């Protein structure tokens, strides 16, 4: 499906997504729990496609639905469930704008792998359980980043699942932060700081933002932006 079709499909189903997102937010309550849930749903989806439980069209539509509802639910969690509809309205353009173009490209690529036999439907030679999701997480879908070593880009079923996770599960953190940001702006906070985890995975950019300390509101890039950790960035933003 092309980007335009995806966008119009998403627009048509927007109020359904809003309703589903509220249910999700109510059910999982915290971003890490939502992320965990979405990771396992991503695996289920890819297995479903591989094991012929799901046809391509359904797979594609389900990934679109889950990408959008999990992003919306994350915004709700970031805003602590206040004014959910209004917040989702506000976040909707950035969710669609951030997620749909790369998602369209990613799905087209998957379809190509299937059509050309790189990914074989029914092929169970590689077990999901043996795949190291943690170490591969997030590192392979940074199409914008140049000069970093590329890992295999979804050419096996488990590696494909890992890429699905990058759309359906990992962005929950960024959209959770967006929710917090919207609330903090409305509360009139004047400053923000980015607090890095400072473990061995923290990149030098994140350490630099961390050492900068307090900055005027809106002046620091959000976690995952302006750093080499991208979607894996787990810096926290504090406001005052």
Question: Could you list the residues that contact Zn ion (CB under 5 A)?
Answer: 203, 205-206, 227, 229, 233, 235
To the nearest 10°, the Cα dihedral for 152, 153, 158, 161? 160
Cβ 227 to Zn ion shortest distance, Å: 3
**Which C-beta is closer to Zn ion: that of 24 or that of 227?**
227
Cβ 78 to Zn ion shortest distance, Å: 17
**Which C-beta is closer to Zn ion: that of 158 or that of 223?**
223
Cβ 223 to Zn ion shortest distance, Å: 5
Cβ 167 to Zn ion shortest distance, Å: 20
In Å, how far are 55, 86, 97, 187, 197 from 182, measured between CA atoms? 39, 11, 17, 9, 23
**Which C-beta is closer to Zn ion: that of 47 or that of 234?**
234
**Which C-beta is closer to Zn ion: that of 11 or that of 198?**
198
C-alpha atoms less than 13 angstroms from C-alpha of 135 in its C-beta half-sphere: 5
Question: And the tokens for 170?
Answer: 């990992």
Cβ 39 to Zn ion shortest distance, Å: 19
**Which C-beta is closer to Zn ion: that of 107 or that of 235?**
235
Those residues with Cβ within 8 angstroms of residue 213's Cβ, 6 or more apart along the chain or in another chain: 193
């Amino acid at each position: 499906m092309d980007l335009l079709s995806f966008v119009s499909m998403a627009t048509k189903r927007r109020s359904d997504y809003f309703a589903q997102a509220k249910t999700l937010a109510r059910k999982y309550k915290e971003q890490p729990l939502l992320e965990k849930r979405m990771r396992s749903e991503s695996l289920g989806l890819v297995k479903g496609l591989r094991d012929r439980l799901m046809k391509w069209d359904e797979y594609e539509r389900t990934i679109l639905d889950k990408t959008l509802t999990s992003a919306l639910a994350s915004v709700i969690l970031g805003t602590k469930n206040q004014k959910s509809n209004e917040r989702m309205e506000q976040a909707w353009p950035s969710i669609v704008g951030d997620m749909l173009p790369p998602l369209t490209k990613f799905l087209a690529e998957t379809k190509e792998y299937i059509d050309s036999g790189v990914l074989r439907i029914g092929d169970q030679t590689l077990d999901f359980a043996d795949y190291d999701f943690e170490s591969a997480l997030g590192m392979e879908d940074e199409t914008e980043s140049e000069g970093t070593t590329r890992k295999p880009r979804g050419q096996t079923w488990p590696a494909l699942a890992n890429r699905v996770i990058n759309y359906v599960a990992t962005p929950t953190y960024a959209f959770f932060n967006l929710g917090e940001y919207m609330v903090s702006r409305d509360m009139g906070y004047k400053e923000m700081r980015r607090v890095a985890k400072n473990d061995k995975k923290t990149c030098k950019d994140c350490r630099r933002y961390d050492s900068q300390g307090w900055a005027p509101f809106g002046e620091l890039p959000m976690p995952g932006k302006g750093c080499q950790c991208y979607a894996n960035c787990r810096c926290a933003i504090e406001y005052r």
